[in-house]
Structure 1
Amino acid sequence: MIATIIIVIIIAYLIVIGSLTYGFDKVEEFQLRDLKPKTKFSIVIPFRNEAENLPKLLNSIFKLNYPKDLFEVIFVDDESDDGSADIINNLLNTKDFTRTDNIKIIQNNRVSNSPKKDAITSAIEIANNEWIITSDADCVLPEYWLDTFDELIQTKQPNCIVAPVTYYGQTSFFNRFQTLDFLSLQGATIGGFGLQKPFLCNGANFAYQKSIFRELKGFEGNIKIASGDDIFLLEKLKTYNPKKVCYLKNPKAIVHTQPVSSLQQLINQRLRWASKTSRNPDWFSKLLGLVVFLANLVCLSLFPLLIFNLISGRITVSLLVIKLGIDFLLLFKTARFFKQENLLLSFLFSSILYPFFSVYIVILSLFKSYHWKGRTFKK
């Protein structure tokens, strides 16, 4: 009986991840046509105590290929006390940017339990342009970032664009572990779009129209949840017009962000992510989360079951090969798109550790609050 249940769970996992792998290939890579830039963008970047990361972000903004008169950058200071705003001002004074026209710093207007949602809303209130792109202060933007968004808008007329994000600086195993985990989420994101069931996105590379944001009343309905400025808005935009929600699958649109530096930060980050994914109303997301959790739980139970002769060695090996095989296939496709195939050398060891980490986070998220940016948030 136990063996049958375990086999059913792994087969369900194979079907779900296999479907996402199929969906990944269904999303065609968007080809640039070197169109004349037309779209005006307002880039929104909330920040809180990001003095260490802002110089890299600003330098990438200065290197953007897009015409400066077609975009603005709105930094939203969320009560920083490390001199972050001064760093922005000092760097602006050394670069050829018209401060008042291109780059602004405003203060966050806190009205809810979600600082980031408040920050984005504060920026949109003063944004001059129709297209909003959100990113994070610990990101590095690619040179042709806005060009790829512009060409997709010109050719497909979407009202929402989800775009790729990955980590940089993968020197230690800890960083490689995080990046492989993150790539699996990116693969699932792209796969969901290929199945015409988008359920994930990342606010570090997310664009939508200001008029529709206002029509949908922004983040109203989930402001009590501290996280989720991305996926909850995606759900609203899907309901508004699912055919106008697009994925921008182009390497020149990839935003790079920084992995966390300690295990405690990683746990808090994953707890923060779990707090929003558990509230996601999308049934496909809930089904996927349940199947992934059960499959990882099965992996943890296989060895004890084998020891007590409740499952055969042949079945144990077969199930592990099936799970590792389909995981590797999706990760391989994703890593190839992000040009991070070298990380796959850490796949096997990461796969041994991941079920412990994943199940621990799910259980912990049921009753524990999390800390982020010097603040504590309840589940």
Structure 2
Amino acid sequence: MIALLSIISLLLTALFLSVLIYLIIGWRAVKTPQIKLSGYSTKVTVLIAARNEEEKIHLTIEDILAQDYPKALTEIIIVDDHSTDRTSAIISSYADRGVKLLQLKEDKPLNSYKKKAIAEAIKLSGGDLMVATDADCRMGRQWLSSIVGYFELHNPVMISSPVSYFEEKSLFERMQALEFYSLIATGGAFIGNGHASTCNGANIAYRKDVFYEVGGFKGIDDLASGDDELLLQKVAVTYPGKIGFLKHYEAVVFTHAKPNLKEFMQQRRRWASKSVKYKDKKLWHW
């Protein structure tokens, strides 16, 4: 029995070390890239799906409006996903500054209103590159220009960029931040190894034509989550090696950790719901 336990322990240790080495190799393979600093030509559509975000959405909008990317090449579409607070009114107040409000009105229940919101925004968009973020995120002035600069110089069809927690106020939030950093780094490492598998929908970009080429959210629209990494995996099947991870500080967006265990668990259950599609061979052709 002792010998068996020793063998199991050695195998588990070997497995852990193998995974760790794999992730280290992948993370090191993702270099901080050169990015184009001027002469941009890509029309960008910033996509945001918002529901009951009256406390923070004005900050996100102000950050996007403050971007140093050319205004003539920037379109902002925010979809109000059945908010019951002042979210819609706040978005509308920015209409004279070019922010477009789309009201999502669905009579029948859906498992993922967010995917529907994003799909409707893409349908109305005039951009060639869709850049998606969340309604409670903050970003620096060079966020868009760093993404487009990378896109125009390296020609990926989809870009996963970093997301970070900030303004942590408690030990629980700091613990979440450490876990979250590891998830983001793992996603980057897998992309570095040529096996794109995970990303975060608060900071992704993809070509509009590629979104439609892979069928958009068809096949994953029955899940509450998955507008990010399940779409990433669909794109990876059609365009292997054409997904990039933008390891650059200017490309980071910042968001808040969950304030309590209940909200944290709700978030993780939502994320876990998409795992049922990871081995769907009809979807991924594996």
Assess same fold via TM > 0.5.
Answer: yes
Q: 108, 130, 152: which one pairs with 2:128?
A: 130
Q: 237, 243, 246: which one pairs with 2:244?
A: 246
Give, as a single letter, the amino acid of the residue that structure 2 aligns with 1:213.
Answer: F
Mapped pair 1:86 → 2:89: yes
Larger radius of gyration: 1
Q: 266, 278, 281: which one pairs with 1:280?
A: 278
Could you say which residue in structure 2 is the equivalent of 1:149? Answer: 147
Matches of 2:8 and 2:248, distance apart in 1: 41
Tell me if the contact between 1:231 and 1:280 (Cα under 8 Å) persists in the aligned partners: no
Matches of 1:163 and 1:281, distance apart in 2: 25
Tell me if the contact between 2:36 and 2:153 (Cα under 8 Å) persists in the aligned partners: no
Q: 101, 105, 109: which one pairs with 1:105?
A: 101
Aligned length: 276
Matches of 1:26 and 1:199, distance apart in 2: 16
Matches of 1:49 and 1:263, distance apart in 2: 20
Give, as a single letter, the amino acid of the residue that structure 1 aligns with 2:129.
Answer: W
Could you say which residue in structure 1 is the equivalent of 2:51? Answer: 48
Give, as a single letter, the amino acid of the residue that structure 2 aligns with 1:274.
Answer: A
Could you say which residue in structure 1 is the equivalent of 2:35? Answer: 32
Residue range with higher mean Cα deviation, 30-39 or 161-170: 30-39
1:17-45 Cα offsets, whole Å, 9 max, x none, are: 22101210111101234232221101110
Could you say which residue in structure 1 is the equivalent of 2:233? Answer: 235
Matches of 1:175 and 1:249, distance apart in 2: 24
Matches of 1:278 and 1:19, distance apart in 2: 24
Could you say which residue in structure 2 is the equivalent of 1:259? Answer: 257
Cα–Cα, structure 1 residues 2 and 161, in superposed 2: closer, same or farther, change >3 Å?
Answer: same
Tell me if the contact between 2:36 and 2:146 (Cα under 8 Å) persists in the aligned partners: no
Indicate the structure with greater helix content.
1
Tell me if the contact between 2:47 and 2:78 (Cα under 8 Å) persists in the aligned partners: yes
Q: 211, 214, 219: which one pairs with 1:213?
A: 211
Instruction: State the identity %.
Output: 35
Tell me if the contact between 1:227 and 1:272 (Cα under 8 Å) persists in the aligned partners: yes
Shift, 1:62, TM fit? 2.3
1:37-68 Cα offsets, whole Å, 9 max, x none, are: 22110111001001111122122112211111
Matches of 1:55 and 1:21, distance apart in 2: 38
Q: Secondary structure at 1:66's aligned position in 2?
A: coil
Tell me if the contact between 1:170 and 1:176 (Cα under 8 Å) persists in the aligned partners: yes
Q: Secondary structure at 2:269's aligned position in 1?
A: helix
Shift, 1:282, TM fit? 8.6
1:336-368 Cα offsets, whole Å, 9 max, x none, are: xxxxxxxxxxxxxxxxxxxxxxxxxxxxxxxxx
Matches of 2:20 and 2:56, distance apart in 1: 35
Q: Secondary structure at 2:111's aligned position in 1?
A: coil
Shift, 1:243, TM fit? 2.5
Could you say which residue in structure 2 is the equivalent of 1:60? Answer: 63
Tell me if the contact between 2:57 and 2:87 (Cα under 8 Å) persists in the aligned partners: yes
Matches of 1:80 and 1:31, distance apart in 2: 40
Give, as a single letter, the amino acid of the residue that structure 2 aligns with 1:209.
Answer: R
1:213-256 Cα offsets, whole Å, 9 max, x none, are: 11222110111111101111111111111122111111100011
Matches of 1:177 and 1:151, distance apart in 2: 33
Could you say which residue in structure 1 is the equivalent of 2:15? Answer: 12
Matches of 1:33 and 1:46, distance apart in 2: 29
Matches of 2:35 and 2:19, distance apart in 1: 32
Unaligned runs of 5+ in 2: 282-286
Q: Secondary structure at 1:219's aligned position in 2?
A: coil
Give, as a single letter, the amino acid of the residue that structure 2 aligns with 1:145.
Answer: W
1:275-298 Cα offsets, whole Å, 9 max, x none, are: 113432399xxxxxxxxxxxxxxx
Could you say which residue in structure 1 is the equivalent of 2:284? Answer: none
Cα–Cα, structure 1 residues 142 and 70, in superposed 2: closer, same or farther, change >3 Å?
Answer: same
Tell me if the contact between 2:220 and 2:277 (Cα under 8 Å) persists in the aligned partners: no
Could you say which residue in structure 2 is the equivalent of 1:371? Answer: none
Matches of 1:266 and 1:183, distance apart in 2: 15
Moved runs in structure 1, 4+ residues, more than 3 A?
Answer: 109-112
1:178-206 Cα offsets, whole Å, 9 max, x none, are: 10000000110111112111111111111
Shift, 1:154, TM fit? 1.5
Q: TM-score, normalised by structure 1?
A: 0.70
Q: Secondary structure at 1:77's aligned position in 2?
A: strand
Tell me if the contact between 1:31 and 1:250 (Cα under 8 Å) persists in the aligned partners: no
Q: 131, 155, 165: which one pairs with 2:163?
A: 165
Matches of 1:272 and 1:51, distance apart in 2: 22
